[in-house]
A and B are shown apart, each in its own frame.
Chain A
């Protein structure tokens, strides 16, 4: 449907470059056509993903025939010149004029350049350095005085600019304006003093600022994180997949002597093109945090954790779990950051070793409706199940994209950039949200004003309103993207599925964490076995039991994460296996804490010391993403495998740890390595039987307002900002400083009703919070927005549960 139609002959034109004839699509730029015949024309300002500008003049070529039999009178910039049929182009390889023009420009570029390559971070991987060697003179004839600037200036807390190195090619400013939509950097001054600058009160605070450093063709832009840390020729580069969201962005991990020095964007046209968010780029210091767990630990009779060997830890864990299994059962909470293979191991471990379906990856608010939705509409869809899913390319080709409960700039940066690209080409974005965010505005979204909790009702009416709103009725070219927080809006996921079914629009669920989609496929849900097999379906259970070499599997659907925590807190569950869950992320942090305290036996698989390890009886350190192979499954259902960056023998992936415990329990999982797990996953395959129907949710009672008096009662809208208090962002102070400040966003009505306060206090059922106020013109009446995890322990722990109504008063807390 969206495949490229076969090119007809009329789409192609024939050009001759350096005597080689080549057919290229019409409107191809000469510089790209030359690449087709293997001719690299030197360039700086040119970038295939940015609009042509023709500023640096490095790519000059000679055009003896413009296709009309006439020569162009002077050398032409090949980055701005489209091909014409019959055009003849001579590059530096065959034309003395072009070669001299290029050498002349190169010499000019270098007269004001400091030539400080020996101390420059870019030295060794610098397009200016490389092309000065390949297309420049051996020596400069310039004997004058170079232009200098004070070194360096901060464009943002993270990005620094050494102006004297800059060749003002405008790649960074064009990226900021065209791709990210954050034009906070611009050319200022003129002539040789022209430079990149920011407004006095507006630093370059873009979530994507780091990309400018990567595309800078000189060493002008550097990061606080990497500046002066290493030389490119000392680094080893390994491909990787970003672990911070469900987008699966390709990254390049540059490391030296077992330590990650920096991360760059990979180049994957189907996924993230050449861009990643600053979180993907800079948030890797958690890997070397001082609180990384160095070895297994076992709690002694003295109540203190003692170092243990792996065999000892496996044995103690197995013993404790066996006891707990017999004493009421064990629940498994896996969090959302696992690789597909590790999630699979938890899924098998729960069923085979613990004999339970009490397993859930959702370390966040969730609902029964969502559980049903995942089984009916998400699991076993997309490429991971050998089926066609919604892709980034589909977003770009869509007429209309509907966003519900999803703020792509904060929650899925790669989707945001692709939507921005799409919107610039004509895609209409509808944002079903309480207000038009800056991120939504950057994708030119039209707001469908919706208070939190009303999403279901709005979606039910959207099929009829789409034509009026977006200019065309929804159809199979269109996409509906639903975010994970829709789980907290009763009826919304069901309505989204109905909307897709009714209009033919394609539906995709966009979770926030890298491991979420893989966990669905792996069966880390109380109602699903791997491959989308319903627990309730006997033949599905037979499938899995046969693959795992066991006689039978538990038949009854298990508890979800909230129920597991509640059961453990109430003493109904005796044991917990917890893989990377922060209690403050969960639906009810207090209950989760109580569960950890109440459970008689807790096994914690963790990277760093945490609140869970404090309660754990056995603490098993697991390998971070750099130490293991694995796969993340993107929101599209695309499997993104990666290899280990480092070989660290003592650093075991979760699946190896679980396999060790399972063997001690006498119920081996049938795999010990990632490859063996992959083989088993493949052998098991996906479910091709009947999909479970999603249960129809019961209508929910509107939540009660907080009983405090005074002020106004507002519904809480919230999500996590890209950069917030998340523990994977620990360790990079510069990155922390680029966070957006935490504010409470109010509509004009509520703001006026409160007497135009500078700050407000929010009263919820779990606490109060005081924040500065920002008035948002588009905010739906009766709603206040607060970032979910930007202050303190986050809203769930400190303010209110999901779907809450808050009492909001002016001024600070008394």
Chain B
């Protein structure tokens, strides 16, 4: 097994001294892409991003350049760019490290994207809980203003952009783009009815582009190195590089940047393998709302198409690795509790369905499941999936249906035996080895 070369682009400067400062970023050519872009027309910038094949990194994988092209330039209202930095999905940890390590990459991307769609106001909506990131972004924006990268007449181009860092108030639903817009406008964050789509009537009923942090942060490299360079990376339909976040039972969890199409086996090798003495049991390709996969999918290329073909979604490439000590029932229950807690309440299937799912799963987790519970869970998921207002409800069903698909017997065990007896919690912990020596767990 040869370990494939990593392609650090977004993460390239993360190991630099005080990488988050403007000085460090500019030392490596930061903000140079602005001059390249300002020499192009906005439409040429959009074309370059289209040609690169960049697809949205927030989970859905919609082509970014095409999204920018949807903005009706004949609309008299102002145009807005909103960066979705409300990273809250269990397992997903790419945007927050990126904004911590190199906030200027994002700021530069924002300027390029805003220039392309002809917006003079941009917003970064950051998850409210990560105060350290909010501060770092605010400082980066301040530095960029002082250095003339933001504000009036940027780099002498005549282009003006104001960038606001806005902290959310701690709701997962505000990662849904229209709920994010409502929240940004000061309203209660709940998804909006579409149409109208944000491209036509988004923030303050004006044309709005909403992009994920990683999508926007990828733009400077595309402008700097060209669309061809970008599209030479990755697979045929999934171009470029992405950050894979490995967490859970691997030796070295963390962010690994690689071209799309790398396999989990390769990534686990890069991360030093599954926890010593254990083997892979199941994993999520893109956070908890993507159907989980098992060790039979180790050699599947991690791009949009292949993961989709395997019945899951590439999502946010949040690879949560679970070894054989983990109860899939308990794990799914925790995820479902999260969705119940985060359901906004707008629509019936998600609001009521998650309430019910948690109760049934808790029963199975406690070994008090009843005959028919598994069928009931599947039917319930069928009544939620595709019936709810937004994708939150759909996401809540994915771990359950996929877990039953691959590990039905564990749910059946829940009719008689609590998961804590079959899978003692301690064995999954980082200190399990120490406990084993003392005769606890094993």
The interface of chain A, by Cβ under 8 A from chain B, is 52-58, 60, 73-75, 80, 100-101, 104-105, 107-109, 111-112, 141-142, 144-145, 147, 167-168, 186-187, 189-194
Contact = CB atoms under 8 A, between A and B. Distances in A.
10 contacts: A55-B347, A58-B348, A75-B386, A101-B387, A144-B359, A168-B351, A191-B341, A191-B345, A192-B351, A193-B345
Given A107-B383, A147-B355, A190 B344 contact: yes
B210 to A, nearest CB: 20
B342 interface: yes
A105 B346 contact: no
B344 A57 contact: no
A301 to B, nearest CB: 74
A105 B387 contact: yes
Contacts of A60: 387
B45 to A, nearest CB: 32
Nearest to A73: B386
B349 A105 contact: yes
A662 to B, nearest CB: 64
Interface string B174-194: 000000000000001010010
Contact of B353 (A74, A108, A144): A108
Contact of B342 (A100, A109, A191, A193): A191
B376 A141 contact: yes
Interface string B184-210: 000010100100000000000000000
Given A54-B389, A57-B387, A190-B345, 16 more contacts: A54-B347, A56-B347, A56-B348, A73-B386, A74-B387, A100-B382, A100-B383, A101-B383, A104-B379, A105-B383, A108-B349, A144-B360, A145-B359, A168-B351, A190-B171, A191-B342
A54 B195 CA distance: 12
A108 B193 contact: no
A112 B351 CA distance: 10
Nearest to B342: A191
A57 B347 contact: yes
State the 8 A-B residue pairs at the shortest beta-carbon distance, nearest first: A104-B383, A194-B345, A74-B386, A144-B359, A108-B352, A191-B343, A192-B355, A190-B345
A112 B355 contact: yes
A479 to B, nearest CB: 30
B352 A111 contact: yes
Contacts of A105: 348-349, 383, 387
A111 B383 CA distance: 14
A186 B354 contact: no
Interface of B: 171, 173, 188, 190, 193, 340-349, 351-356, 359-360, 376, 379-380, 382-384, 386-389
Contacts of A141: 376
B376 A109 contact: no
Contacts of A111: 352, 355-356
B352 A52 contact: no
Contacts of B354: 191-192
Contact of B352 (A54, A80, A101, A112): A112
Contacts of B345: 168, 187, 189-194
Given A104-B383, A108-B349, A191 B355 contact: yes
A286 to B, nearest CB: 41
B351 A191 contact: yes
B360 A192 contact: no
B188 A187 contact: yes
Contacts of B359: 144-145
B289 to A, nearest CB: 16
B71 to A, nearest CB: 23
A57 B389 contact: yes
A588 B389 CA distance: 62
B355 A57 contact: no
Given A54-B389, A108-B349, A191 B171 contact: no
Of B353, B383, B386, B389, most buried by chain A (CB within 10 Å of CB) is B383
A226 B286 CA distance: 54
A75 B387 contact: yes
A112 B348 CA distance: 11
Nearest to B172: A190
Contacts of B383: 100-101, 104-105, 107-108
B356 A144 contact: yes
A67 to B, nearest CB: 15
A105 B352 CA distance: 9
Given A80-B193, A191-B341, A194-B344, A57 B386 contact: no
A142 B351 contact: no
Nearest to A145: B359
A80 B347 CA distance: 13
Nearest to A60: B387
Contacts of B379: 104
Contacts of A52: 193
Nearest to B358: A144
Contact of A108 (B190, B340, B341, B356): B356
Of A56, A147, A189, most buried by chain B (CB within 10 Å of CB) is A56
Nearest to A77: B389
A186 B356 contact: no
B347 A191 contact: no
A430 to B, nearest CB: 26
B281 to A, nearest CB: 29
A55 B352 contact: no
A55 B344 contact: no
A29 to B, nearest CB: 12
B413 to A, nearest CB: 20
Of B340, B341, B352, B356, most buried by chain A (CB within 10 Å of CB) is B352
Contacts of A57: 347-349, 387-389
Contacts of B343: 190-192
A73 B388 CA distance: 13
Contacts of A74: 386-387
A167 B348 contact: yes
Of A53, A58, A145, most buried by chain B (CB within 10 Å of CB) is A53
B361 to A, nearest CB: 11
A109 B193 contact: no
Contacts of B341: 191
B387 A53 contact: no
Nearest to B340: A191
Nearest to B376: A141
A483 B193 CA distance: 41
A109 B386 contact: no
Contacts of B389: 54-55, 57
Of B343, B348, B379, B384, most buried by chain A (CB within 10 Å of CB) is B348
A112 B345 CA distance: 13
A144 B380 CA distance: 14
